[in-house]
Structure 1
Amino acid sequence: MTDATKQTIVLVHGAWADGSSWDAVTRALQADGYTVLVPPNLLRGLADDAAYLAAFLAQRTSGPVVLVGHSYGGAVITNAATSAPNVAALVYVNAFIPDEGETVVQILDGSGSALAVEDPTTIFDFVAYPGAPEGVVEVFLKPEVVHASFAPDLSDADRWTIAASQRPASLIANVTPSGEPAWRTRPSWAVIGTDDLVIPVAVLRRLAERAGSTVSEVAASHVSMVSHPETALAAIRAAVAAV
């Protein structure tokens, strides 16, 4: 076991979010004396996003790292850590934990997710972006989806802030097959929001069990680290203490 203050905790946001989704967790960990980094997640495609995070880790960290991902950020940390030997542990917060060859879309297929709909135009706004591959666009959550499905346990003001400031994801991000999973060679922890409507609880439990993660559950929505940061903090602190 290493001195906790010598470890770096890296928090990775998911789609339709940014680093501010980790604000409560970041402040608490910094108050504990940890070095905390919250890099941007490009949301341009799993291979590119993981490569960016791996390069960030190589250049911005030294010593052991506890790598934390929310939602799609879980897929990113699963891939990035395979080429980041200083990652000592993984923490998944309401997150995808893919196996090799899986995509986010495949994981959600038939799950009852609020995002697994026949007509995506009912929940997404589509926007072209410069440099995108032909036929590829970014997707924003419609405000009513943020309110009803993404963050229903936050205040009305917080939900409107998320709807206004969301960082969109390229369509490529959710259909790119995952690579070799780092959870096969790293210990992992998983926080499950039992009221998650984006990644339903049955899916979260199945993924965590497959990865052999140490699980904690909380009655919270998809953004449990915002509505109940103490649960994410407990899992992160446990990971730090164990490695």
Structure 2
Amino acid sequence: MRKLLIAGVSTVAVAALALPGVSEAAAGRLNACRGDGAKVTVVLVHGAWADTSSWSGEVSRLQRAGCKVRAIANPVENLTTDSQYVADFLKSVKGPVVLAGHSYGGSVITNASAQVKNVKALVYVDAAAPAVGETNGSLSGADSILNQLPAAQLFDTTTYPGAPAGQQELYLKEKIFVNHFGNSLPREQARLLWASQRGASTEAFGTPSKYAGWKTIPSWYFISSGDQIITPASELAMAKRAKSEVTVYNGGSHLTLVSNPQPVTDVLVKAIRSVR
């Protein structure tokens, strides 16, 4: 594996990293998932316009490697309450936790991890990692498709019960989902995921972050060079300030965790092995 050092960022593995057979073998050699004598639990938090099934490839690989893993629901309603929801779940987990978030789920794990004591590693997968006071919506990057088109061309909208004044539920339009969100997937699979996407409240993207768990918890960052939703430049900047270990995957999309779960699993394995 070829490694490069980027100023201010820990190791960057340029992935071509997942040679056929090599990564599966590495995952298979993960024989315990143990830290401090107790089995590590990997908790996976999905992002906006997705659900727990987006982690299915990683879950199956980690289970085969003998790891305890849970992919849990993310309400995507309000960053503060979504983070409390995840923190409450983490309090029910015995032993150390590796906590991973995709997309908006990165903002959630950033806040939830600071409210509990058992999170020992954070993994960001094409995700946002806000500082205190920042909103998820401010971190997509200038070149993100979300900042290139007016909202009316990006989203279908609806109201929802109990919504704060002026807040709406957002659904990505089909062309945006297929061509910019899940563009590393076969077209028919992307269309299926578009049709079954969960809505996301505008309030979730506008809530200021209250915590920054990455300041005290070691972190790993998986960045797809083909991500058009949260741009690689924005993710690299967030990874730099968090002093994360960074893996740059050559290609992919915002849904690389679905289209290419093995290299994502490899990064999760690195985080698991760091727990002592």
TM-score between both structures, scaled by the size of structure 2 = 0.85
Give the deviation of 1:76 after TM superposition: 0.1
Q: Which amino acid aligns with 1:125?
A: D
Q: Any stretches of 5+ residues in structure 1 without a counterpart?
A: none
Specify the alignment match of 2:239 in structure 1: 208
Task: Write out per-residue CA displacement over residues 57-110 of structure 1, whole angstroms, 9 at most, x where no aligned residue.
Answer: 112x1100000000000000000000111000000000001111101222236x
Specify the alignment match of 1:159 in structure 2: 190
Contact 1:4 1:241 in 2 (8 A): no
Q: How does 1:77-226 map to 2 (within 5 A)?
A: 77-108=109-140, 111-117=142-148, 119-218=150-249, 219-226=251-258
Distance 1:134 1:215 in 2: 39
Give the deviation of 1:143 after TM superposition: 0.5
Specify the alignment match of 2:23 in structure 1: none
Distance 1:69 1:43 in 2: 13
Q: Which amino acid aligns with 2:120?
A: A
Specify the alignment match of 2:7 in structure 1: none
Distance 1:25 1:56 in 2: 20
Distance 1:10 1:4 in 2: 19
Correspondent of 1:57 among 86, 90, 108 = 90
Q: Which amino acid aligns with 1:55?
A: D
Q: Any stretches of 5+ residues in structure 2 without a counterpart?
A: 1-33
Aligned length: 241
Q: Compared with structure 1, are the counterparts of its residues 5 and 148 closer, same or farther at alpha carbon in structure 2 (3 Å cutoff)?
A: farther
Specify the alignment match of 2:81 in structure 1: 48
* SS at structure 2 position matched to 1:115: helix
Q: Compared with structure 1, are the counterparts of its residues 3 and 226 closer, same or farther at alpha carbon in structure 2 (3 Å cutoff)?
A: farther
Correspondent of 1:75 among 107, 126, 129 = 107
Distance 1:126 1:202 in 2: 29
Contact 2:129 2:238 in 1 (8 A): yes
Contact 2:38 2:95 in 1 (8 A): no
Distance 2:84 2:230 in 1: 24
Distance 2:115 2:80 in 1: 12
Q: Compared with structure 1, are the counterparts of its residues 116 and 186 closer, same or farther at alpha carbon in structure 2 (3 Å cutoff)?
A: same
1:240 corresponds to 2:272: yes
Distance 1:131 1:104 in 2: 22
Distance 1:201 1:239 in 2: 21
Give the deviation of 1:3 after TM superposition: 6.7
Correspondent of 2:53 among 11, 15, 20 = 20
Distance 1:36 1:45 in 2: 25
* SS at structure 2 position matched to 1:62: coil
* SS at structure 1 position matched to 2:35: coil
Q: Which amino acid aligns with 1:228?
A: N
Contact 1:4 1:240 in 2 (8 A): no
Specify the alignment match of 1:29 in structure 2: 62
Task: Write out per-residue CA displacement over residues 170-226 of structure 1, whole angstroms, 9 at most, x where no aligned residue.
Answer: 000111111120001100000000010001111111111111100001121111111
* SS at structure 2 position matched to 1:97: coil
Specify the alignment match of 2:22 in structure 1: none
Q: Compared with structure 1, are the counterparts of its residues 34 and 5 closer, same or farther at alpha carbon in structure 2 (3 Å cutoff)?
A: farther
% identical equivalent positions? 41
